[in-house]
Amino acid sequence: MRDDASMPDFAADLASADDETVRAALEQAEIPALLPALAAALNDLSLVPEHLRPSLAKLMDPTAGLSPEQQAEARELAFQALVRLRGQEPAGDPSPEVLRSLLEFTSSGRPFEDYMEVLRDELNLGEDPRTPTWSKDELAPDRPFRVAVIGAGMSGLAAAHRLRQAGLDVVVFEKNADVGGTWLENTYPGCRVDVSNLFYSYSFAQRSDWPEHYSSQPVLLDYFRRVADESGIRPLIRFNTEVTAVAFDDESATWTLQVVDEHGREEAIEVQAVVSAVGQLNRPSLPDIPGVERFEGPSFHSARWDHSVDLAGKRVVVIGTGASAGQFIPAIAEQTADLTVFQRTPAWFIPSPLYTDPLSPEIHWLRRNVPGYTHWHRFWLFWRSVEGMMPLATVDPEWDGGERSVSAGNDFMRQFLTDYLTKQFDGHPELLAQVIPDYAPFSKRFILDNGVWARTLTRENVHLVTDSIAEITPEGVRTTDGTVHHADVIIYGTGFKASDFLTPMKVTGRGGTDLHQHWGGDARAYLGITLPGFPNFFMLYGPNTNIVVNGSIIYFSECEVHYVAGCIRRMLETGVRAIDPKPEVHDAYNERVDAENLRMAWGV
C-alpha cells in the first residue's frame, strides 16, 4: 500500500512529474494516438513498429486488437519517449515522408491517399491550416461585398469566423438572444452530444481541458459562447432578429433580406451573398395524433422543455424513444411516480461505458503533456468512424440476410448489438423482445448507452408501451386496444422537422423562383450547399449532409465553409457578380448521391 506522498501528481507537468505519474497516465492512453504523436514529437519512426499497428477489424475493441503484451510494450516505448522529451524540445511538423509513415501505421493498412488534405486538417499541422490564404483587400479592394450569415449556431459561427478572416464584410442574424443554436434551445435533462468532444469541436478552437468525454449541453453552450467572444464574432451578430425572406435581384446580382427584430420592426438588408446556417434541428416535430390539444395537463416537446413543470411524484407519459428521449427518459425516471414510455420504433444502442463520465486526471495530463496527442487522438476517432464503420454499413448485393442486415459485416454488428441488449435485459424477456430492432444496424443513427437504458426500463415505475396510439384524451393517452394511460404531464420526444429545409423562411431566386416550390418536398443541392438558379446562396448542413455513422457534423460544416469561401474567392478574383452550379452538374451529383445511398444500410 502506498501513502499519499507516493500517489501520482497529475497537476505536475512533464518536466516535474515523477515516473510513477507518467506511467499511471500512460495506462489510460489510446495507443493508436499515443505512439504516432510521440514519433512525430521526436522524429523517431522506431516508436511505430509494424507489429504494434492498430487494427480496424476489431472496431469495438478498446485495445485496437493489441494483446496485453503488445499494449505493455507500447506503453514502455511511450514512457521512454517521454523521458527523452523531458530534456528536449519537440520536433516541428513532421516531414511529408515521416507523416506518410505515421499515417500508414495509424490507418491500419487502409488506403489513405485520398484523405491527405483531410488528414492534415485533422492533425492541425501548421498554424490553423483552414485559415484563408487570401483576403478581399488583395483581390478586390474597391468592390463592395457583404455576406449575410443566417444563424449563429455551430455552422454559422464557423462561417462568420472564416469569412471574416478573409477580410469580408459579414453580418450575422440570429433569431435567439445568444449563440449556440440547438445547444441553446435544447435544455432537457440529460442533454449531451453523442460524439467525442475531440471531434465535436472546431479545428481552429481545440481544447485540451474538456471536462467530459461527451460534453453536456451547458458545457457545449459555454464552448460556443467562448468561440464567439474570443474570435471577435459576437459584435457581428444581430440577436433576436429573424430572417423571414430572402430574394435575389437579377439586375443588381444582390440578395435582399427581410428581417424582423424582437420589437416587430421590419427592415430590408441588401448583401452580395447569403450563407444559410439555420440547421436541421431547430423546428420541433409534434406527432399527428388526434386530440393533442385536448390534454388538460402540461405538455411540451423536449426541445422546448418547460422547466416550470415539476415532474416529482407525477404520472408522466413520454411519446418517442429517439436520440433525445434516450437521454431525458433516464434522467427523469427517478423523479416520477409513474413513467409510461411509448415506443414506435426501437433504436440500436451501442455500448459506450464512458458516455456520461468525466475525463480522468490521467487523460487531462496526457492532453497537456504529450505533444500532438490530442490531435492524433482526434484523427484516430475520425479514421475509426470513417474507414472502420463504413464497410459495416455498406450493402452486399449478394447477401441474403433479409431486412435485418445488409452484409456479413452488418450482420456481425447486428449480432454484437443484439448480444449487448440481451445481456442488459437479462431476466426481462418481454422487454427484450420490445427493444431489439427488426431493421439493419446503421439504418438510423445509433444511441450511445452506458447501461442506463436497461436500468431505466426495468424500474418498477417505468412502463414501455409499443401499442399504437389512437388519441390523446383530457386524461392521458388512449391506445388502439382501448386502454387509457393516465398522465399528469405529457412530453413529446418526437424529433425535429429535419427535412423541412429553410422553413419557414421564404427564398426567392433568379426569375422569381420560389425555392420551396422548386424543391416540391424533395430538397436537393450540389454538395448539399448550392443549387442552380439561386446564385451566391449557400447552405450549411443542407440536403444530404446529415450523418449516420461517419464523424462529426462540425467537421462537415467546416468543409462546407471552406467550399463557400472558395466560391467567394473565385468571384472576387474573376470579377463575376454571381455564381451557381450548372443544372447538369447539380443533377449528376444528386444522381450519384442517390446511387451511393442505395449502397448503404440507411438507403435500403
Pick from 572, 496, 561, 571: nearest CA to 528: 561
For the stretch 328-368, pLDDT in tens is: 999 999 999 999 999 999 999 999 999 999 999 999 999 99
Give CB contacts under 8 A, 24+ apart, made by 432-436: 434/343, 434/346, 434/464, 434/466, 435/346, 435/349, 435/464, 436/346
- What value does the CA radius of gyration of the chain take, rounded to a whole number of Å? 26
Residues 6+ apart with CB under 8 A from 202: 158, 227, 554, 558
pLDDT for position 206: 84
Q: Is the pLDDT of residue 550 over 80?
A: no
- CA–CA separation, 432 and 434 (whole Å): 5
Q: Is residue 138 part of a domain?
A: no
How, if at all, do strands 349-351 and 469-473 pair? unpaired
pLDDT for position 99: 85
Q: Is residue 476 part of a domain?
A: yes
In this structure, of 120-134, 157-171, 493-507, the range with the lowest mean pLDDT score is 120-134
Domain-ending residue, one of 467, 492, 517: 492
Q: What angle do CA 472, 324, 354 make, to 5 degrees?
A: 145
- Do 453 and 310 share a domain, yes or no? yes
Helix then strand then coil, in percent of the chain rounded to 5, is 40, 15, 45
Q: Is residue 340 part of a domain?
A: yes
Percent of all residues in the chain with a pLDDT value above 90, rounded to a whole number? 77
Q: Is the pLDDT of residue 386 over 90?
A: no
Q: Is the pLDDT of residue 188 over 90?
A: yes
Residues 6+ apart with CB under 8 A from 133: none
More confident residue, 116 or 157: 157
CA 513 to chain centre: 33
pLDDT for position 2: 43
- Do 317 and 192 share a domain, yes or no? no
Give CB contacts under 8 A, 24+ apart, made by 9-15: 10/361, 10/362, 10/364, 10/365, 13/368, 13/369, 14/82, 14/85, 14/86, 14/369, 14/370, 15/86
- CA distances 127 to 130, 406, 411, Å, are 9, 43, 43
Pick from 604, 520, 565: nearest CA to 158: 565
**In 86-216, which residue ranges form alpha helices assigned H by DSSP?**
96-106, 116-122, 136-139, 154-165, 182-185
pLDDT for position 503: 82
Sign of CA dihedral 335, 339, 345, 350: positive
CATH number for the domain spanning 550: value is: 3.50.50.60
Provide the pLDDT confidence category of residue 1 given band limits of 50, 70 and 90.
very low
CB atoms within 10 A of CB 210: 23
Amino acid at 239: F
- Do 205 and 98 share a domain, yes or no? no
Residue 188, Cβ density class (10 Å: 0-12 exposed, 13-18 middle, ≥19 buried): buried
For the stretch 451-467, pLDDT in tens is: 999 999 999 999 999 99
Q: Is residue 137 part of a domain?
A: no
- Do 480 and 534 share a domain, yes or no? no
Q: Is the pLDDT of residue 131 over 60?
A: yes
- Do 42 and 161 share a domain, yes or no? no
Domain-ending residue, one of 445, 468, 492: 492
Find out whether 375 and 121 touch, Cβ atoms under 8 Å: no
Q: Is residue 135 part of a domain?
A: no
Find out whether 146 and 171 touch, Cβ atoms under 8 Å: yes
> Taking the model in full, what pTM does it have?
0.93
Our count of domains for the chain comes to: 3
- Do 488 and 504 share a domain, yes or no? no
Q: Is residue 136 part of a domain?
A: no
Q: Is residue 81 part of a domain?
A: yes
pLDDT for position 124: 65
pLDDT for position 498: 64
For the stretch 258-313, pLDDT in tens is: 999 999 999 999 999 999 999 876 778 888 899 999 999 999 999 999 999 999 99
- Do 8 and 120 share a domain, yes or no? yes
pLDDT for position 403: 81
- CA distances 504 to 8, 107, 246, 304, 313, Å, are 56, 44, 11, 18, 39
> Where in the sequence is the domain holding 76, given as residue range(s)?
4-129+364-388
- CA–CA separation, 197 and 219 (whole Å): 10
What does the block give as the cell for 311? 415532474
Q: Is residue 134 part of a domain?
A: no
Amino acid at 301: H
- Do 118 and 43 share a domain, yes or no? yes
Find out whether 269 and 259 touch, Cβ atoms under 8 Å: yes
- Do 344 and 443 share a domain, yes or no? yes
- Do 349 and 439 share a domain, yes or no? yes
Domain-ending residue, one of 439, 459, 492: 492
For the stretch 483-527, pLDDT in tens is: 999 999 999 999 887 667 888 899 999 999 999 999 998 999 999
Pick from 94, 90, 71: nearest CA to 82: 90
Residues 6+ apart with CB under 8 A from 155: 277, 279, 540, 541, 557, 560, 561
Q: What is the mean pLDDT of residues 39-44?
A: 94
pLDDT for position 125: 63
- Do 34 and 50 share a domain, yes or no? yes
Find out whether 183 and 226 touch, Cβ atoms under 8 Å: no
- Do 425 and 297 share a domain, yes or no? yes
